[in-house]
A and B are shown apart, each in its own frame.
Chain A
Amino acid sequence: MMQKARDGATDARYDFTGDERPHPLTVSFGFLLFVAVLPLLVKSPYWLGVVIVAMYFAMLAAAWNLLSGYVGQISLAPAAFAMLGGYTSGLLWHHLGIAPLIGIGSAVVVTALLGLFLGRITFKLSGPYFTLTTLGFAEISRLIMANSLKWTRGDLGLHLPPLLSNRVHTYYLFIIVLALVQLGLYGLLRSRAGLFLQAIRDDEIAAAGRGVDVVRWKTIAFALSSAICGLGGALYVHFSQLASPEMGLILQSGLVLSMVVVGGLGTLVGPLVGAFIVQVSSEMLRMVGVRHMLVFALLVIIIGRFMRHGLWGAAEQWIVARRRRRRMAARGMAPHGKEGAGGWVP
């Protein structure tokens, strides 16, 4: 039985059908609504800042999850793309005095084009080339930003104007953008294109055999994922008012990865929840003087090894089991295996 389940290439999916699971958009928006009322309860600008950073990471995590959770391609450069997005807007303002709003728009375009270029040359090859290239790209783009003193002021970073002067306004801007990202990803994954992407993840050769242009769709997904990272990075630098090479550290990408894995790889809600859990608890760990990445890296190893759907996957399984038991009890039946197929929900 175990053997069969493992050989079927289906182990990233759940063994239950969509109609019993809580709808991912309901959960996402419910969660964001909770985040939206937080400023009424929490007045400390410090903790509001922590939540804004968590939302920045949630954008990166959602973007990374699109690529790794739904297409099966691991990029090690989400933070680097965020850094490049931040520097696009930052350099435009610093050297040409272009307004942040236009800068953020150009950041999206620039990072999408970079993703398109890297995707075009690496996805033509099967195997580990993509992951290796993103790692090299991340390290090198960070080194270029840190060493081009004339343009970027190196490790000092660029000081930038805020997009919105009020912290609470910035907070709501981040919520709105994050909600739009979640909505857009949901729409994409429900569409025909979303099916292509997941078909590639589950079996590349079979997908190609059914006429899916594997290289093209992987490249599109990567460009999209990079653009979301670029958007997040550009918004972030105008919140923190500083663009620095630190944003692109591999450790930052590791943080994004651990958020998705802890929350639940290949689920829409997982990265959102994971980003908040990891970011808020790393602030708490910082207070007791433990390096937060020590804890999260250990969690990544354990969850990647034993609990592949992360915390949200586990919660979802629990909810479905409960619903199923209740329905069976209402019909006076003993619970048994799977029920008929419903519409699949990402």
Chain B
Amino acid sequence: MLAELVDIAGTGLVMGVFYAMMAVGLSLIFGILKVVNFAHGEFFMIGAYAYTLIALRTGMSLGTALVTAVLVGAAVGVLTERLLLRPLYAGYVDWARIRHEYMIIVTFGLSLFLMNFVSQFIGPYSVKGPDLVARSRVEIGPIMMSGHRFAAFLIGSGFLAASLAALRFSFWGKQIQAVAQNRLGASLAGIDPARVSSIVFGLSGALAGLSGALLAPIFHAEPQVGVLPSVKSYVVVVLGGMGSVAGSVIGGLIVGILENFGAIYVSYAYRDVFGFIILMAVLLLRPHGLFGERARPV
């Protein structure tokens, strides 16, 4: 019984790492620009396609494909910020006066555009990404999983940990923290908020692209593969607290584990519904999430 519980929790934890990777990127963007990026799931989708197509069509090594997926994700993130979002906030002095509707509309439009672009030019069918390791089963104590899932878990959590360390200790990371705390103050201290926004979008795109690439053998690359992971990561950022990076990591792990328990003990068909129940519960009981700033009523 205990072994079974540990197994379920472990498998959920592995998914949780990917939710956390998505949610951290989303949370960073929210911290800097106070907008939710609705094209985040499509960064994931692009990562999945980049990895799969490069590995299958060009015959390059899987490592190269993985690195390319990260770079492509980062590039898409930076381009999104430069071309679409920066013009929307560039002229404003007072951040409270920005019309957030248009930021939502533009990112959501981008999401629809990317989905349909891929569907038109690559095809609406799904492509399975190649496994990173051939070994079919890994056992750690009572936890059993496929070799690929284990390798993906190691790479994903390694990249996530490195990003978190960079955010906390590196020079750029400190700049990001400063802009998230106070945009005007940071610019007075000589930090360029526009450049920091680009860096954040790049990092966020890289995280989403990597999680897409790592999950490509499990979820299969298809135009709409990003929708569910992005919806999950929205649940995670609300649970963890808007804009809190630590909250996103812990929230991601919690959602991954709870979902897996729900799928096994309650209903497999409704496994994706549990995230929404968590979202409702958080909004009703603790609206500022686990670690967020208190969400102020208007």
Contacts and interface: CB of A to CB of B under 8 A. Distances in A.
**Same complex:** yes
Nearest to B36: A128
Nearest to B30: A128
Contacts of B91: 2-3, 6-7
Contacts of A133: 279, 283
B166 interface: no
B4 interface: no
B79 interface: no
Contacts of B284: 121
Interface in A293-320: 293-294, 296-298, 300-301, 304-305, 308
A102 interface: no
A305 B279 contact: no
Contacts, number: 154
Interface string B91-113: 11110110111101110111111
A189 to B, nearest CB: 17
B92 A131 contact: no
Contacts of B120: 290-291, 294
Contacts of B115: 251, 293
A305 B101 contact: no
A111 interface: no
A258 B109 contact: yes
A11 interface: yes
Contact of B231 (A136, A144, A254, A291): A136
Interface stretch (B170-178, B187-195, B202-210, B234-242): B234-242
A33 B94 CA distance: 46
B234 A261 contact: no
Contacts of B276: 136-137, 139-140
A204 B298 contact: yes
Contacts of A296: 112
Nearest to B231: A139
Interface residues of B, number: 55
B287 A124 contact: yes
Nearest to B230: A135
Contacts of A300: 105-106, 108-109, 112-113
Interface in B88-142: 88, 91-94, 96-97, 99-102, 104-106, 108-113, 115-117, 119-120
A65 B203 CA distance: 34
Interface stretch (A68-76, A158-166, A321-329): A68-76
A265 B276 CA distance: 29
B287 A131 contact: no
Given A7-B94, A143-B273, A297 B36 contact: no
A294 B113 contact: yes
Nearest to B270: A147
Task: Determine which residue in A12, A126, A254 has the highest number of CB atoms from chain B within 10 A of its CB, and name it.
Answer: A254
Contacts of A265: 101, 105
Contact of A214 (B38, B111, B235, B298): B298
Contact of B283 (A129, A144, A293): A129
B234 A135 contact: yes
B159 to A, nearest CB: 25
B271 to A, nearest CB: 9
B154 interface: no
Contact of A297 (B100, B109, B275, B295): B109
A125 B238 CA distance: 12
B297 interface: yes
Instruction: Name the 8 nearest CB pairs between A and B, nearest first.
Output: A300-B109, A297-B113, A297-B112, A294-B116, A140-B276, A301-B109, A293-B116, A125-B295
Given A125-B295, A261-B105, 14 more contacts: A7-B93, A121-B280, A133-B279, A135-B231, A139-B228, A139-B231, A144-B273, A250-B227, A254-B109, A294-B119, A298-B109, A301-B109, A305-B84, A308-B102
Interface of A: 2-3, 6-7, 9, 11-12, 68, 72, 74, 76, 121-129, 131-133, 135-137, 139-140, 143-144, 147, 204-205, 208, 214-215, 250-251, 254, 257-258, 261, 265, 290-291, 293-294, 296-298, 300-301, 304-305, 308
